[in-house]
Amino acid sequence: MRGDVIGRAEEELPGRPLLVPFVRGGVLVREETIERMSERARSDLGALPPGLRDLDGEVESYPVAYSDLCSAALRAVDARVG
């Protein structure tokens, strides 16, 4: 892991989404057992750099950026309220 990009649901961005929908429009679109959820959580936690796994240690900087679509939407909001 080298960083995260906050994007819109309809965007195709490189990498793997951190949030995966299980319900859309009131319809179940994905099922997962508790065992699989635990396995995925352990795997995801293990993929974090050591400085991000240890909540009691030194915090490493971890880059988070907005996608181009999110950045444009934020600029549009700023222009309306600014």
Each residue's pLDDT tens digit, 55-68: 776 777 888 999 99
- Residue 11 structural domain: 4-81
Rounded-to-integer distance, Cα 5 and Cα 28, Å: 26
CA 57 to each of CA 17, 38, 47, 69: distance values in angstroms, whole numbers, following the listed order: 27, 24, 17, 35
Kindly report the pTM of this predicted structure: 0.66
Looking at the 3D structure of the chain, how many domains does it have?
Answer: 1
C-alpha distance across the termini of the chain, in Å = 35
Segment 20-24 mean pLDDT: 89
Spatial CA neighbour of 58 closest among 49, 71, 47: 49
Q: pLDDT (tens digit, 9 = 90+) per residue, 30-53?
A: 999 999 999 999 998 888 877 787
Q: Quick one: which H or E segment has residue 51?
A: helix 50-53
